[in-house]
Structure 1
Amino acid sequence: MIAKIGRSGNLYGALAYNNLKVDKENGQILFTNKVIETANGHYSVAQLAQSFEPYLIANRNTEKHTLHISLNPDPKDKVSDEKFREMAEEYMREMGYGNQPFVVFKHTDIDRSHIHIVSVCVDEQGAKISDKFEKVRSMKVCRELEKKHVLIPATDRERNQSDKIFRPVDYKAGNVKSQIASVVRHVPDYYRFQTLGEYNALLSLFNITTEKVEGELHGKTKRGLLYIPLDEQGGRAGHPFKASLFGKNAGLPALEQHFGKCTTVLKNHPGRQTLKVAATIALKTTNDEQAFKKQLSEQGINVVVRRNDTGRIYGITFIDHNSKTVWNGSRLSKELSANTFNEYWSKDIRTKMEEPSVPVQTVSDIPEQEIAKDDAPHHFFSFLDDDGGVVQSVFEGMGGLFAETKSRTAGEADFIFNSTKKKKRKRKREL
Structure 2
Amino acid sequence: MVARINSGKSIKGALNYNEQKVVQGKAQFLMAENYPVAQESLTYEQKLQVLKQQAALNERVVTNCVHISLNFETNEKILPAVLNSIVLDYVTQIGFAEQPFLVYRHLDAAHPHVHIVATNIQSDGKRISLHNLGRERSEPAREQIELRYGLIRARGRGNDQQEQQELAALQPGAVTRTSYGKEETKRAITQIVTLALQKYNVTSLPELNAVLNQFGVTADRGHEESNTYRNGGLLYCMIDEQGKPVGVPIKASKLYDMPTLKRLEKKFERNKGYRKPLKARLSAQIDRVFRRYTQITKQTLISELKKQNIHLVFRENKDGLIYGLTYVDHLNRSVFNGSDLGKEYSAKAVLERLAGKDRKIESGREWNQREGFTLKAGTQHFLKVPVPGQIVHALLDQQEPDIAPTVSRKRRKKKGEQEQSINL
TM band (smaller chain)? 0.3 to 0.5
Q: With a CA cutoff of 8 Å and minimum separation of 6, indicate the structure with the bigger relative contact order.
A: 1
Looking at CA atoms only, which structure, 1 or 2, has the larger radius of gyration?
Answer: 2
Query: What is the TM-score when the length of structure 2 is the normalising length?
Result: 0.44
